[in-house]
């Protein structure tokens, strides 16, 4: 877990660089609308997960002072990884469209997020043992289980959640701006 968790940003950065140097697909409504929907869903899911989770691990050290099992985390175990996947998939489809060339990027992205989630499951199980196993038994990893919803007692505000992820938003908007600029201004 420590190695993949430590290098996750670097791996995503390489993926973004590969995406940038790839030839862009022509602007088409289908891929752009799909990309916009994925981006919006990913951003909203990330904000709601951050409302629930409060302060959590950032950077290269992985720690969990408590197991979060309410709010978004009562619906699915990995809402932040799912949100990352939705946002990055939106960027990939925005830039490459529905071309076959998008598949290797999506495969690397899905593999990375899946590996991170499995490593996190192992970490949480070793840290919280039976509490984690009980949560896992009723909470799906990547898809929401609406029958399981349990509200968070003191969630962060919407704006606190936005602010908490300010570096993420900077990178997301920078990537989209650069890809859009390449596509429109360079005629790529």
Q: What is the 3-state secondary structure (H, E, C) of the chain?
A: CHHHHHHHHHHHHHHHHHHHHCCCCCCCHHHHHHHHHHHHHHHHHHHHHHHHHCCCCCCCCCCCCCCCCCCHHHHECCHHHHHHHHHHHHHHHHHHCCCCCHHHHHHHHHHHHHHHHHHHHHHHHHHHCHHHHHHHHHCECCCCCHHHCCCCCCCCCHHHHHHHCHHHHHHHHHHHHHHHHHHHHCCC
Domains of the chain in start order, with CATH, are: 2-20+33-185 (1.20.120)
pLDDT tens column, 152-164: 887 778 888 888 8
pLDDT tens column, 66-89: 889 999 999 999 999 999 999 999
pTM of the model: 0.85
Average pLDDT score over the chain? 85
């Amino acid at each position: 877990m420590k190695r993949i968790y430590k290098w996750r940003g670097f791996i995503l950065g390489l993926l973004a660089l590969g995406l940038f140097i790839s030839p862009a697909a022509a602007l088409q409504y289908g891929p752009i609308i799909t990309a916009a929907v994925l981006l919006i869903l990913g951003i909203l899911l990330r904000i709601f997960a951050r409302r629930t989770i409060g302060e959590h691990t950032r950077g290269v050290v992985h720690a969990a002072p408590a197991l979060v099992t309410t709010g978004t985390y009562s619906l699915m175990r990995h809402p932040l990884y799912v949100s990352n996947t939705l946002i990055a998939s939106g960027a990939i489809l925005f830039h490459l469209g529905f071309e076959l060339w998008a598949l290797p990027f999506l495969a690397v992205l899905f593999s990375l997020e899946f590996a991170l989630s499995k490593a996190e499951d192992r970490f949480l199980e070793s840290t919280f043992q039976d509490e984690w196993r009980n949560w896992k038994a009723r909470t799906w990893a990547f898809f929401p289980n609406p029958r399981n919803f349990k509200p968070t007692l003191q969630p962060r505000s919407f704006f606190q959640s936005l602010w908490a992820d300010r570096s993420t938003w900077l990178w997301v908007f920078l990537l989209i701006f650069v890809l859009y600029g390449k596509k429109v201004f360079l005629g790529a």
